[in-house]
A and B are shown apart, each in its own frame.
Chain A
Amino acid sequence: GDSVTQMEGPVTLSEEAFLTINCTYTATGYPSLFWYVQYPGEGLQLLLKATKADDKGSNKGFEATYRKETTSFHLEKGSVQVSDSAVYFCALSSNSGYSTLTFGKGTMLLVSP
């Protein structure tokens, strides 16, 4: 079945540092890939997505590229802020009609001033 593997956290960075959170996946066919963010006490919010190979999703300074050859969708940001502290989830969705999301375990990011 489908699965998503993320690097374990917490990831602890200083403000303005470069961020990478690794994500790899296993799926049949050509899934869509997502990064969701969960701020403390809140629900999941879609951060960015990519629907086909070599697509780059980007939002709020974050970006991730759909790499089919390495089955990866790593999240990057050039300069993190304290407000980016949250839990980040990589997920995939098969592109069948009633597609569901398969999530990784999440990576906590802690950014200090």
Chain B
Amino acid sequence: EAGVAQSPRYKIIEKRQSVAFWCNPISGHATLYWYQQILGQGPKLLIQFQNNGVVDDSQLPKDRFSAERLKGVDSTLKIQPAKLEDSAVYLCASRKRELDNEQFFGPGTRLTVL
């Protein structure tokens, strides 16, 4: 079974530019998560999807971050405009069904904002 795929693996941009990250979850996994992991800290949830609907986006800075999961499969996370403090690893994870609380993580995208 293929794992969670993410691209790109690395991205360097200047502040005020925009950037997008892509995630393809494990086939059949209904729930998809985006986490932000700042260096030296644990991952922090940004947004959670159940199929193509948003379940929890309370921690998403909506003035600059947006995410979508069209058709309930892959997802994109966008930052526009980026700030220096957005430098982090962005992790995507998926989970098969509601009663299964194990999440599977992708390799992450490391974003550097200069």
Contacts and interface: CB of A to CB of B under 8 A. Distances in A.
A100 interface: yes
B107 A43 contact: yes
Contact of B108 (A43, A46, A93): A43
A32 interface: yes
B99 to A, nearest CB: 8
A41 B48 CA distance: 24
Given A43-B91, A43-B108, A100 B41 contact: no
Interface in A31-77: 32, 34, 36, 41-46, 49, 51
A49 B102 contact: yes
A56 B107 CA distance: 28
Contacts, number: 53
Looking at A36, A43, A45, A49, which has the most chain B CB atoms within 10 Å of its CB?
Answer: A43
Contact of A100 (B40, B56, B102, B107): B56
Contact size range, A = 20 to 34
Nearest to B45: A100
A105 B41 contact: yes
Interface in A90-113: 91, 93, 95, 97-101, 103-106
Given A43-B108, A106-B42, A93 B101 contact: yes
A105 B101 contact: no
B43 interface: yes
B31 interface: yes
Interface of A: 4, 32, 34, 36, 41-46, 49, 51, 89, 91, 93, 95, 97-101, 103-106
Interface of B: 4, 31, 33, 40-45, 48, 50, 55-56, 91, 93, 98, 101-108
14 contacts: A4-B42, A43-B4, A43-B108, A46-B103, A46-B104, A89-B42, A89-B43, A91-B42, A100-B33, A101-B33, A101-B103, A103-B44, A104-B42, A105-B42
